[in-house]
Amino acid sequence: MIYIDIKKSFKNANFHFETEIASNSLNAVFGKSGSGKTTLLRLLSGLEIPNKGVIKVDNEIWFDSTKNINLTPQERDTGFVFQDYALFPNMSVIENLRFAQPTKDENFIEELLDIVELTKFENKYPELLSGGQKQRVALARAVAKKPKLLLLDEALSALDSTMRVQLQNDIEQIHKRLNLTTLMISHDIAEVYKLASNVLIVEDGEINKSGNPDILFENSQLSGKFKFSAKIIKIEKADTIFIVTLLIQNNLTKVVATQEEVQNMSIGDNVLVASKAFNPIIIT
């Protein structure tokens, strides 16, 4: 369990984050720009220091203003993935991963390279990689030391839709493989539905709500004649559109989707289906 109750004041903003996060859960941090999402992650990682409060991860205190405890970023067991990759340009892919490991584990590095499909690029330098490949290296490097807490600061926002789906799958696979506790900033509701079991909604420097995305988004983000949960059974191309077959309880139904919409869908995904007037939409 992660317990957070911290306050931080800047010249033009005040933040107070208070919540509990279950260990080994994948959490989306959702909110408007400027609401405090990145500040929350920086405070957890030690890149920013709270004015007062407590951060406790499992049974270890990372910050406690009353006891003068403040672990440095290096002492906190975190992996941080930024939007701009932050790779070492003078190191190859595999050297970037090795650098992140306090205790060397070549077998685990090879496993990570296999998960993110970069084994054949392990000796290349960042300047020779595409943006998506760089971000996959950044993800693998962040988890190379097997951190307790993985922090993703809009790590997928600069990628095209195809690469974004690939990275989503990588994040999901790595999260489950390592039993990480993950906090992921995202503005994409479909991405939140696909990956997160819990959502922290940040508004005006506070965690305003938290809970299952179905509960938080079903009423607040969508309006329509009907809404229901479903599982994707089949995705078929039909001329310029796609037909998505959904299982709703024990019944099958078909919904039309565009190519852009199905890029975020996979067979087996649990989705939310809503209808605005007579046009049903699928939220993956």
Q: Could you tell me the two tokens for 75? A: 């002492």
277: left (phi over 0), alpha (psi -120 to 50) or beta: left
Question: Coil, strand or helix: which one is 48?
Answer: coil
Q: For residue 204, is it within any domain?
A: yes
* Amino acid making up residue 281: I
DSSP annotation string for 159-181? S-HHHHHHHHHHHHHHHHHHT-E
Residue ranges in the chain whose pLDDT is less than 50 = 221-224, 277-279
The pLDDT of residue 91: 96
Structure tokens at 220: 């607040």
pLDDT of residue 276: 52
Domain that holds residue 65: 2-212
Nearest to 85 by CA among 144, 136, 161: 136
pLDDT digits (tens, 9 = 90+) for 145-201: 899 999 999 888 777 777 888 888 889 889 888 889 999 998 877 788 788 999 999
Query: Residue 183 belongs to a domain with what CATH number?
Result: 3.40.50.300
DSSP H or E segment with residue 40: helix 37-45
**18 and 65 co-located in one domain:** yes
Asked whether residue 245 falls in the same domain as residue 188, the answer is no
pLDDT at 227: 65
Q: Enter the pTM of the model.
A: 0.76
Q: Cα torsion for 32, 34, 37, 39, to the nearest 10°?
A: 180
The number of residues making up the chain comes to 284
pLDDT score recorded for residue 249: 67
91/48 same-domain check: yes
Burial of 120 (0-12, 13-18, 19+ CB in 10 A): exposed
Same domain, 150 and 251: no
Give the domain-ending residue among 193, 212, 231. 212
